[in-house]
Each structure stands twice: as C-alpha cells, then as structure tokens.
Structure 1
Amino acid sequence: MTVIDASTAAPPVLEPPPRPDLATRTAELRDRHRRAADGTDPSATERQHARGKLTARERLDLLFDKDSFCEVEPLRVHRATGFGLEHKRPYTDGVVTGWGTVEGRTVFAYAHDFRIFGGALGEAHAEKIHKVMDLAEAAGAPLVALCDGAGARIQEGVTALAGYGGIFRRNVRMSGVVPQISVMLGPCAGGAAYSPALTDFVFMVRGISQMFITGPDVVRAVTGEEISQDGLGGADVHGGTTGVAAFVHDDEESCLLEVRHLLSLLPANNRELPPREWTNDPANRRTESLADLVPADPARSYDIRDVIAEIVDDGDWTEIHAQWAQNVVCALARLDGHTVGIVANQPAHLAGVLDINASEKAARFVRTCDAFSIPLVTLLDVPGFLPGADQEHGGIIRHGAKLLYAYCDATVPRVQLILRKAYGGAYIVMDSRSIGADLSFAWPTNEIAVMGAEGAANVVFRREIAAADDPEATRQRLIEEYREQLMHPYYAAERGLVDDVIDPAETRAVLIRSLSMLRSKQTSLPSRKHGNSPT
C-alpha cells in the first residue's frame, strides 16, 4: 500500500462553473426588457384601457416616429424601504424615460406608467426623470412630459418630495433654453401640478385629465362645497377658466398628434431658429378678400381668425389658449415657410378690448416667442382696456403692464399692423413703434387716437357744446372736425409713428418682405442679472 504525503500532494484541479453563453445572456436580457415593458400585472393594462386611457408605451409610440424611441434605465427598480415596497420592485419604477425623433428631430420624453404604483413618484422614479431632463438640456432638445401619476409615493416619505423639488429646479433652469411641453393624461394633484405650470405649453384631454392643488375631498372638508374632479380641475376648467391649459382635446390620439405638430413649429433650443417648411403658397399672393372680411365701420364686428387664415401660409395656423381670454388671439403659423407668432385683438369677443386675462395671455405668449427666436406679428383693432371696478380691483394696471413689459423686453423681429381702431394705452401696449416695434403698418381704415372721436369731442369741446343753441348739431360737427384733423388714416404716418399705409390686398406680401429683412436683426439688452417684471 502506497502512502501519499498530503503535504506534498498537488492540489486537485477545480473546473470553473459553466458560464451562460452570450445567447443565453441576451435571451435573459430580452425577457427582463419584456417584463419591464409589460408591467408586473397583466390585468393592469386592461384596467388602464377600461378607464379610456392608453398605456405609457402606447402613448410614446404615438408621440415618436416609428421605432425611434430609445429607452433609458428600463431595468431601474426602487430601493426596498419597507411598508410593503420590499415585496414589489417592478422594472422602470413606474416611469418610462428616453429619447426618439419627431419628424426626424430629436426629442426627449418621460411617461408616467399608471399601472405601476399608480404612476406615483418615488426616489428612483424621480432620478430617472432628472436624468432625462439633464440629457435634454445637454443635447439642446425639447422635453415632453406625459403625465399620469398619483403624486408623491407616500411610502418613501420626504425623498419623494425632494424628487419633485429636483424636477421643479430643472424646469426653471431649462425655461427658455429648450421647449418644455406637459401633456396631462390622468390625475395631477398637489405639488405635482407645479411642474406642468412651469413648462411652456400644457395639453389636456377631456374626461381623463385633472389638475388641482387640493382635491374634492379636501375642498369638501374645508369649505363644505361639493364638486367633482372634472369640475374642480378638468380640461375645460383649465382650458377656459384658469388658462393653465394651452390646448384641450377630446382624445389622446388627437392630443399627441397636436404635440407633434407644435414641435414642428418650434426650434430645438434657444440657439436655433425654428425649422422652415417649404410651401407652395406664393409669398406675393394678394389678399383681396381682407377688404370684405373687415368692415370699414369700426363699430361692426368680425372674426380676426378669418384674417389670420387669409394671411398665413395655406391658411394653416395653431391657436394657443383658444378657449381662454378670447378677446385676444395668440397663434403660431408660418409666413413663407418661417414660423411666426401672431397676437391679434378679437373684435368678435368683447369688441377686442384688453382685460386682465387677455393681457396675461398675450404677455406669456410674447415671452415664449421671444425666448425661442420666433418673430412677432401684432394685428391691432383695439378700443382700449376694459373699464370697470372689477378690472381695476383685480389689478388691470399690473396685468396690463405684463404685456407692456413683454413687448419692450422682446428682441425678436416685431411688426405691427393696425387694421382699424387703436385707441389709448391699448394702442401703445400692443407693440407700437414707441415701445420698440421694428416696423408699423396700417390699413387705410385705421384710426389711431387717445380715444374715439365721440368721447374726445365730449371732453375737448364740452363747454362749447353746452353753450351752443343746438348742442347735438354742434357736437356732431365737432366730432367730424376732430376725426378729420386728428384721426385720419395718414395722421400717424405723417408723424413717423406708422411706416406706411398699405393696401389690405398687399398685407401678406408686406409682412413677408418685412420679416425677411428683419431675419438678421441684431439687438441686445443692458447687462443685468434679470429684469423685474410685474408678475
């Protein structure tokens, strides 16, 4: 029998455990991605569809060009924190983030997945959003938020609240740098509502979108008022009453299609110009129908939207805040293929006067256009500011000053066109030459004055009218004299406050030529940290 000395024996050779080949690893990864895409509960998709809502990925498919979406952190899960979360750690953590293309241009997006934790925001969820926001800022590309979440994740406490803070800070830092669009496709309550309010445009869908700081239950407990979620913060409330929503749609499909169209009108960032879209609509096309659309009588009403459609390329334009403050119309359109912003008084609503809401609406739009290098065309037919104690007590001075500030601060090309009347302070505020419009034109029907001839005559000739044998006849004579001497169509042009009085049929051609000349406009503001606008 041979005895082996263990101290000198060679160690046994151990075979390494078999390692999965690349195909096995790839199959495992595909399975993880499939589970991330499908969610953790197959019935959750059915419940989402039963609510009349699409899933996060179905929405992304509608937003982006086919097969262009690249997901970021699809396998992210939250850190187990107790309170039941340690047993439920689904992939994506309830938000899908990434980038893709919209009509060939890069766009970043995040979409809450209501099927997972009700889309509630936790630490990992927030960090994914922070990352995609930082990528959008670094790449200089628009950011679209598809919002469908239940607010902060209660189980994660203050870390969830801090996550919202990080989003708000980035919203502000990116403001005016890249376009930010919020699409409300479900509930948005409490502090979560502030992120959409900080973005450039908010879309809502009737029946499924709600935004409010305190919900119906809290309202009932505090005030005793009974109100539904839609009645408190539904799409029509924010589209027509509060002005929070710029666009309101009946379904998700048309909503996301409009988001794609809006993106096509905007630049990728504040260092670029909006993309030009070639058109077959001639730049020198005469607009003969404008003389019939706009009555010469300043007291007669008409729809300014018909005027806009006649002027812009192919009659195609997009109205912003169509249901809110309808006495002023704000629109994005194209002239000779170039994006322009149009601000216009609407005689068909409140005679086109400026009031608190109209001033705020127009001011916000002017600042948005200026931030993204979109030239401004202002169409005037304004009788003044709306009188009344409610307007004065509501701060019409402060709100009107917002519009004045926005125009004075704007450095983009600015062209003013006076269609008919332009009276008082409203004339000045609506981008007059005196506050920096590059060019001002007027139709032969224009009347520019401190006030209408009737009111002016009653003030200026009050004593003469009172002492006349026939006060009414004297009044009418003096009204005509005032109109002929101080309100005739060429009065402002003779004093250099209007660059030319033009034929309405040449409106499109004049605007296009003017904007073409101004496209290389260079201007700057005094060095300062920032202005102090009358917010």
Structure 2
Amino acid sequence: MGKDDTDASTSSAGAKERLKQISAHVEPNTQRKRRRRRPDSELPADYSDILGQIAALRNIAATPDPNNRGYVRQKQAGKLWVRERVEQLLDPGSFQEVGSVSGTVKWKQLGGIKEEPEDYVPSNNVQGFGRLKGRKIVFTADDFSIRAGHADGALMEKTIYMEKLAIALQLPIVKLVDGSSGGGSVTTISKTGFSYVPPLPSFAQVVQQLNMGIPNLGAVVGPAIGLGAARVVACHFSVMAADIGSLFNAGPNVVKNATFEEGLSLTDLGGPAMHCTNGTIDNLAPDEAGCFEQIRTVLSYLPDSGTKLPPAIEVSDPIDRISESLRSIIPRARNRMYNPRKIITEVVDQGSFFEIGALWGTTAIVGLARLAGRSVGIVSLNCEVNAGALDALGSQKITRMLKFLDVFNIPLIQFVDVPGYAIGTAAERSATMRHGVQLATTYYSTTMPIFSVIVRRVYGVAGGIMLDCRDPRMRVAWPSGMWGSLPLEGGIEVAHSYELKEIEKKEGKEKRDAKYKELEDEYRRLMNPVRTANHFGIEEIIDPAYTRRVCCEWVSHVYENLLPERIMERVAGRVKPTFA
C-alpha cells in the first residue's frame, strides 16, 4: 500500500470520528437519566395559587361574621361596620384598598411548598384611596369590632404609610375614628414578651400635613380613646356623631381607678355635650351619615394642598343682588340685638354658609362660604351672646379659624361688631386677655387677605386688632357704625366722674342725670360716622344693601391677582403658614 492510500485512510477515519461527535450533540443519548422535576414546575404558570390566596383573604375581610363577638357588639351599639362606613362615605365604585390582606393569618400546609389560609384576623383598620364628590382622597377607618381598634395586624405601619402618602401625593386625608386607632393595650405586653416606651411615629407626618395645607378631616364615630382621640382632634376639621360618639384620654374603668369617679358612661365622660361645647371637636352631627356629609361639604371649600387655589364653582346667585333688608337689620336703639347670621347668609352666595363650631365659643361666629362661587372664610361677632364681647373661648375659636384660612389660601370676610373684650371676674378667671393677645398675634402673623365690613361697634383693643391687622386696611362701614376707645356707656362715667359727682353732691341727682344726658347727646353728635369719614378715619361708608356686590368684587380681585402670587410665594418657601 502506497503512501497516498495510507493518508486517505487516515483522513477518512478522522472525518468519521468528527461526524460521530456532531451526531452525539444533535441526537443526545435517550438512555441518559432525566433530571428530577423541581417543585416549582408543579405550580400554575399564571400564579393563580397566589391570586387565590389573596382573593380568599380579601373575601374573609370583606364578609361580616354575625357570630363574631366584636361584630355583634358593634351592631348592638347602633354603629355601622367599618366597611359599611367606607361604602357610605365614598363615591360608589371609587374604593381602592391599601393593605387589603394585612393581618394575622394561620396557614394550612398542603405538602411541599403549597399552603392555604386556614384562619385570618384582618388588620383592624381599613385604609386606601377613594373619591368624595369626585375629589380623590386617602382615608383610614378604624374597625372597633377587632380588639377595639388597639394596635394589631401592622396597623401602625399602615397608618404611617397612609400619612406619608397624603404628603407625597398631596391628597386630602379623612380619618374615621372608632377606638384607639392603633393605641396600646396591656395584652400587647403578653404577646411581645416585653413592655415598650410609647412611640408616636405618625405625628411628625400629621404636623407636616397640617402646615402644608393638606386637608385633615376627622369624624368620631364611636369612642375615640387615647391615640384615636389625639388623631381626630389634631385635624383641621372634626365632627362627632351625636348618637354614638365620645372622646376621652382614658375610658371609665381607668378613670375610676385614677380619680375615683365611678359609674361614668362613655357619654358622661366625653360625649357631645362635653367636647362639642368646649372646642375639642368642631361640629356635631346627628349620626354617622351626617358626619360623612359634613366632611364632604368642608372638603368642597378646600384645595388639595396649600400650593393650590381653593376650588371655584358655578353659581346662579347674581353678584349684584341687592339686599334691602340689610338697611334696617341693625336697630337704631343701640342696646337692641339682631341676628348676625342673617347678615352673613344675605351677603354670601345663597345656601353656601357652613358654620364651624356653632356650639362653643358662642360670642364668635366662624365658618366657610362662597362669594361668586369662590371660597371665603367668615368671622363675625355675636351680639346675642354676652352683647358680642369677645371672651376667651371666642378668641380661641377665631384664632383657630385664622390659621385654618391661612394654610388653605382662603381670603377672610369679617362682619365686625365688637364692643371689646369680655370684662368681669369670669372673664379675668378664664384668661381672656391671654387668649385675646394670642388672637392678636395670629391676626398679625397670618397673611391671607382680609376684608372687613363694620356693621356696628368697634371698640378697644379687640376692635383694633380685627381692623388694623393689614396694611393697607381693606374695609368699609355701614351707616350704623360706631367706634372709639371704649363705649360711651361707662366711658362718660370715667371721663367725667369728678364733675358728675360734684353736681350730684351740690345740686342733687336730677341735675346730675340732666348733665349726663347733655354730655351723652354731645358725644353722640360728635360720633356721627360721617364725621369720621370727613377726616378719612373710615375709608368709605356704604349702603348696606350693596354689601354683597362690594364683597364679591373684592374676592374676585383677590382670586385673580393676589392668590396666584401667594401660591408662588409658598412654592418658593417665602410664605410659610402654620396651623400646628
């Protein structure tokens, strides 16, 4: 065999070997042992097992258990179940829950990695997104039927998350409080094995919201205890259900051991008669539905945050509507009273006045209204209570309202009839001047626009701070206006004390009374408001019938020219209102 034949044979053998190797890759040996299937390969590709677990837990949470002791107690007390509340509060179909499966779950093992929920106690607070008359909000709602609202099922983590969401998304937050809203219980000690120093992690966010002008609206729809009470009282606006609401730092059993007050009911301790008349809670509603309606109403006046303008609506009430009844509403007899609420409702858009705090601080009237469809704040003194003299509670009420308006960029309309601060031992005992000075500092530290209508009296420090807190002053007076350092009644006695005493001593009481009448007539002639206008002490005296038109023109200018600039100042950080 020649050399060429040998080379050809070797080349053929090499080619066959390479072909064999390629075939081994293309057609693997079917006899080779297969890999063992992993447990994951037995699970459905569409994750329907996980989705099924979520659906099962959500179904348990959304279905009331009539055999549950807490649910039975809730219904026996005449209260709505938490999810019934959510349904009644929000626009239909707008509820989007956050943390829908948070809670305590007992799992049943099915072999391998498979399991299913066997028992589930949901978190005792329902939270999420929804809409109120089309406005998107976040909300929290306590479930008193589970551990009376005490901390459980990641409740604190959920609550803090919702508070942060309200800030990040700049959305109003509504809080329905029924229980302690995640406050502590002694049973927590046995579960954790230790006692803790009480934290308050969510209040930093609450204070931030309040000062950012993110509406915080709260309702007491059961016993609000401890932390629950604090959460609702901190809100910009709060309302209590008259039939089921109460609020206190600690319940009757704790009070009995601490102060020896026995036999107290929830309403005795902190019901509407207590807290809707002392300023702890702003408003009273007949029931839960009434609470929800008041929350919707208040929100309709407010922006989503302090960097936005309040919403405007279309109205049919003419801007130039003339109110002839206002010409005679102030009696010519100086000591006669009138209904100040009639002035408010006659001037503002028809049906738009919403009073806040009607049951406390009754020497003052405050609330929200609209002029030409735009939101305004209202402050008025109430001559039907203590002759309108501003007492400690009235000062606190107006102070709170001024801060409220300032953080929400809402201009203020004042109807001024103030004889001064309240006097006498009761006024001094209740620290009237302390709270009056606090009111003064608030008038001068807030920056929302203010327009004043002097309807009758303006006297003393109280009158001065209400009318002199902006430069230039924006105000008008009615023909019924009267003003000075103090009212004539008493003022003449002080200024002419010696003269009147001498006349009475020498000539008798009749001569003294005649001199007093002569002095009074002279002072009243000089106090003609036209004389003040002659000296430009009052900028303009208007016909009361045209008050609405004057106020509407001012409000329109404020919204079109001043408030947009104020918004930019807030965004830039140069205007920083504070509510808390």
1:462 and 2:518 correspond: no
Counterparts in 2 of 1:529 and 1:253: CA distance versus 1, 3 Å: closer
What per-residue deviation string (whole Å, max 9, x for no partner) do you get for residues 390-447 of structure 1? Answer: 3223321210012111211121110011111111112113x21355474111100100
Tell me if the contact between 1:355 and 1:391 (Cα under 8 Å) persists in the aligned partners: yes
Q: 1:20 aligns with which of 15, 36, 44?
A: 44
For 2:205, what is the secondary structure of its paired residue? helix
Q: Deviations over 1:357-401 (max 9, x none)?
A: 000011101110111001111111122111122322332121001
Q: Decide whether aligned partners of structure 1 residues 422 and 285 sit closer, same or farther in structure 2, where only a CA change above 3 A counts.
A: same
Q: Does 1:408 align with 2:444?
A: yes
Q: Is the 8 A contact 1:39 1:91 kept in 2?
A: no
Which residue is equivalent to 2:158? Answer: 128
Structure 1 pair 175/465, CA: closer, same or farther in 2 (3 Å)? same
The equivalent of 1:68 in structure 2 is 94
Task: Pick from 59, 81, 88 the counterpart of residue 85 of structure 2.
Answer: 59
Q: Could you say which residue in structure 2 is the equivalent of 1:512?
A: 552
CA distance in 2, matches of 1:196, 1:162: 23
Shift of 1:45: 3.6
Q: How far apart are 1:121 and its partner, in Å?
A: 2.1
Once residues 69 and 34 of structure 1 are traced to their aligned partners in structure 2, the CA distance between those partners, rounded to angstroms, is 15
Which of 220, 224, 243 pairs up with 2:260? Answer: 224
1:490 counterpart = 2:526: no
SS at match of 1:185: strand
Instruction: Give the conservation status (yes or no) of the 8 Å contact 2:123–2:153.
Output: no
Distance 2:130 2:224 in 1: 25
Larger Rg over CA atoms: 2
State the match for 1:481 in structure 2: 522
SS at match of 2:78: coil
Q: Say how many residue pairs are matched.
A: 517
Partner letter of residue 282 of structure 1? Answer: P
CA distance in 2, matches of 1:285, 1:221: 62
The letter for the 1-side match of 2:44 is P
Match of 2:74 among 36, 39, 48: 48
**CA distance in structure 2 between the aligned counterparts of 1:532 and 1:201, rounded to whole angstroms:** 15
Q: Name 2:130's counterpart in structure 1.
A: 100
1:144 to 158, 174, 178: 174
The one-character-per-residue Cα deviations of 1:27-71 (angstroms, maximum 9, x if unpaired) are: 443222111222677534443222111111111112211111111
Point out the more displaced range, 65-74 or 464-473: 464-473
1:154 and 2:177 are equivalent in the alignment: no
Q: 1:32 aligns with which of 57, 65, 84?
A: 57
User: What letter matches 1:77 in structure 2?
Assistant: G
Residue 234 of structure 1: aligned partner: 271
Q: Distance in 1 between matches of 2:483 and 2:119?
A: 67
Tell me if structure 2 keeps the 8 A contact 1:96–1:112.
Answer: yes
SS in structure 2 at match of 1:490: helix
Residues 286 and 532 of structure 1, relative CA distance in 2, 3 Å threshold: closer
Unaligned stretches of 5+ residues in structure 2: 1-29, 107-116
Mapped to 2, the partners of 1:130 and 1:64 lie a distance apart of 21
Q: How does 1:342-353 map to 2 (within 5 A)?
A: 342-353=378-389
Letter aligned with residue 33 of structure 1: R
> Using the alignment, how far apart are the partners of 1:132 and 1:483 within structure 2?
61
Pairing of 1:2-17 with structure 2 (within 5 A): 10-15=32-37, 17=41
Comparing 276-285 with 117-126, which one deviates more in the overlay? 117-126
Contact persistence 1:375–1:414 (CA under 8 A): yes
Q: Does residue 320 of the first structure (1) align with residue 356 of the second (2)?
A: yes
Q: Which moved more, 1:350-359 or 1:388-397?
A: 388-397
* TM superposition score normalised by structure 1: 0.89
Matches within 5 A, 1:358-377: 358-377=394-413
**What secondary structure sits across from 1:315 in the alignment?**
coil
**C-alpha distance in 2, partners of 1:207/1:345?**
30
Q: Cα deviation per residue 1:101-133 (whole Å; 9 max; x = unaligned)? A: 112111110111122222212471011011111
| Residue segments in structure 1 that go unaligned for 5+ positions in a row | 1-7, 81-86
Cα distance in 1, alignment partners of residues 215 and 472 from structure 2:
25
2:474 alignment counterpart: 439
Which of 358-367 and 509-518 deviates more?
Answer: 509-518
The two structures have a TM-score, normalised by structure 2, of 0.83
Alignment partner of 2:332 out of 285, 289, 296: 296
In structure 2, relative to structure 1, the CA distance for the partners of 1:29 and 1:22 (3 Å cut) is: farther
Aligned-partner residue type, residue 267 of structure 2: D
Q: Determine helix, strand or coil for the equivalent of 1:314.
A: coil
Residue 210 of structure 2 aligns with which residue? 175
Aligned counterpart, 1:83: none
Aligned-partner SS, 1:313: coil
Give 1:330's aligned residue. 366
Question: What is the CA distance between 1:316 and its match in structure 2?
Answer: 2.7
Q: 134, 140, 145: which one pairs with 1:115? A: 145
Moved more, 456-465 or 381-390: 456-465
Contact 2:403–2:577, Cα closer than 8 Å, also in 1: no
Question: Which residues in structure 2 correspond to 1:274-289 (within 5 Å)?
Answer: 274-289=310-325
Secondary structure in structure 2 of the residue aligned to 1:165: coil
Letter aligned with residue 22 of structure 1: D
In the TM superposition, residue 341 of structure 1 has moved relative to its aligned partner by 0.6
